[in-house]
Amino acid sequence: MDRREFVYGAASAAFATLGHSSEISNIAVRLSPPGKEWPVMPADFVGLSYEMGQLYNPLFFSQNNLPLVRAFRGLNTNGVLRLGGHLSNITAWEGVGRDDPKQFRGIRHGIEDYWEWPLVDPNVAQNKHGILTRKAFENLRGFMDAVNWRLIYGLNFACGSAARAADEAEAVAGIIGDRLIAFVIGNEVDGFGDDPYFRAQGYGVQQYITEYKNWVKTIREKLPHARFAGPDTDGKVDTWVLEYARQTRGDTALLTSHYYGMGPASDPHMTAELLLRKRNPELDAQIESVAAARKIAGGTPYRMDEGNSCFGGGRKDVSDAYASALWAADYLLKAACAGFAGVNLHGGGVGVYTPIESSEGAPASPKPVYYGMQFAQFFAGCRIAPCTLDTSANITAYQGRKSGEAMLAFVNKGEQAVHLALPDKFDKADRLLRWDLRGASLTAKSGVQFGPVPQKNQPAVIEIAGYSATILQVG
């Protein structure tokens, strides 16, 4: 979709009415020298992650679910859907393994104890005793064709078996076909030792890799060209992901792990201000570890395939509010600058942090974080790099280049308006296009807007209002 033809729900004139507090003036925007070392943000960079249990309703991921088709295509016309999550640890499959006592115990454990059921649509949330079926896969394929997305599929490593995985994988691959990127064996396996239903206490990365390789062998006996990704940990890039990269070098399609901006959601200290903090040492450390893991793996791409603003389902009035849109815009662009292959934000159902709400009253309603993801998606296909801003203000800047186009993005995570002195290419451009991401307040849950702003002239200095984000484009 051409970004100039994108249909926005909000009138751009509304942006002009939003005010600001005090100002920080005339900060110079310094561009990074152009070069091939800038990573390209892939077209499928922005994606979504859903709980595997959502497939218990075969009508959800279907080409006939038109509201959901529109919501997916409004986010990205070439994205990646990841199916996994905590419910993938306890889902049942209609084929091999239905009578496995270990699987039965695990499924009962999940039905009774898991909190993730709000992350599926009401049909599933009210009927947890479901099963994965070939019919659901057939409908899923129709949905993937309708939205032009591809799939990462998580297998039940927690209470399933290698034999079940091979049977299920064969069915998935046969139906999903070339829209299947890879299988993931397990979800947050680094925590299995904390759950006696799944593994013994002290379960570690070496034990996982031994089991993983056995599962890969068993699956490939039925599906010789099966591709895999992993290890899908809840973090631990500097340990689990590094070791997985070392021991699967040359035989894995993607490195994957999860990232949440803060948490747990039950902690009252998880505020919008914390989420939007200027510096996040944990994220910086994870980015460094991702680079090291990719190097060890011989350049295998890395995808953050499950994450969001606050783990544990999301913090009310933060993860479901405008603050999450600013966080997503900044996080996704920073991840793209770090060379990530993509980011899948987790959600579904009526989850607090879900990008798209699916409830009885809203079959596919975009939430605030969705618009931050749209903002970042504008840079798809661009070589992207950070800009330098000599200021203590809580604002970040990014630049992109593609086919003669030049773009800048600014994400102001502070309350003060900032005036930025633009580089020559932008202040002397014949035509400057602008899009703004705005909300009435950090806690606003409606009225979040992302859309074009008419430019009456070509200013040398532009204002970025407090708690707002802006994209500029020349070309």
**155, pLDDT greater than 90:** yes
Residue 263 buriedness (CB in 10 A; 0-12 / 13-18 / 19+) = middle
CATH class of residue range 3-38+384-474: mainly beta
Tens digit of each residue's pLDDT (9 = 90 or more) over 221-269: 999 999 999 999 999 999 999 999 999 999 999 999 999 999 999 999 9
3-state secondary structure of 55: helix
Delimit the CATH 2.60.40.1180 region(s) of the chain.
3-38+384-474
What band does 12 get if pLDDT is binned at 50, 70 and 90?
very low
Spatial distance between the Cα atoms of 394 and 402, rounded to a whole number of angstroms: 27
**119, pLDDT greater than 50:** yes
**460, pLDDT greater than 80:** yes
CATH annotation of 46-381: 3.20.20.80
Region of 236 please: left (phi>0), alpha (psi -120 to 50) or beta.
Answer: left
Q: Which residues are CB-neighbours of 351 under 8 A, at least 6 positions away?
A: 118, 119, 313, 314
pLDDT at 62: 98
Residue found by looking up tokens 């990269």 in the block? 245
What band does 33 get if pLDDT is binned at 50, 70 and 90?
confident
Query: Helix H segments across 76-161?
Result: 101-113, 122-125, 134-147
**108, pLDDT greater than 90:** yes
pLDDT at 24: 76
Tens digit of each residue's pLDDT (9 = 90 or more) over 334-344: 999 999 999 99
**36, pLDDT greater than 60:** yes
Report the share of the chain in percent with pLDDT over 90: 87
pLDDT at 425: 84
What is the average pLDDT across 315-339? 98
**2, pLDDT greater than 70:** no
Distance from chain centroid for Cα 226: 24
pLDDT at 7: 28
- What's the predicted TM-score (pTM) here? 0.94
Dihedral through CA 382, CA 386, CA 387, CA 389, nearest 10? 150
**22, pLDDT greater than 90:** no
pLDDT at 14: 36
pLDDT at 17: 36
CB atoms under 10 Å from CB of 390, counted, come to 8
pLDDT at 81: 99
**6, pLDDT greater than 70:** no
Delimit the CATH 3.20.20.80 region(s) of the chain.
46-381
Tens digit of each residue's pLDDT (9 = 90 or more) over 414-450: 999 999 999 988 888 888 899 999 999 999 999 999 9
HEC per residue, 401-429:
EECCEEEEEEEECCCCEEEEECCHHHHCC
pLDDT at 26: 83
pLDDT at 404: 82
Tens digit of each residue's pLDDT (9 = 90 or more) over 364-421: 999 999 999 999 999 999 999 999 999 999 999 999 999 888 999 999 999 999 999 9
Query: Helix H segments across 297-420?
Result: 322-337, 368-377
3-state secondary structure of 390: coil
What is the average pLDDT across 75-89? 98
Q: Measured in Å, how far apart are the chain's first and last C-alpha atoms? A: 17
pLDDT at 427: 80
Number of Cα atoms under 13 Å in the Cβ half of residue 350:
12
Region of 348 please: left (phi>0), alpha (psi -120 to 50) or beta.
Answer: left
pLDDT at 11: 32
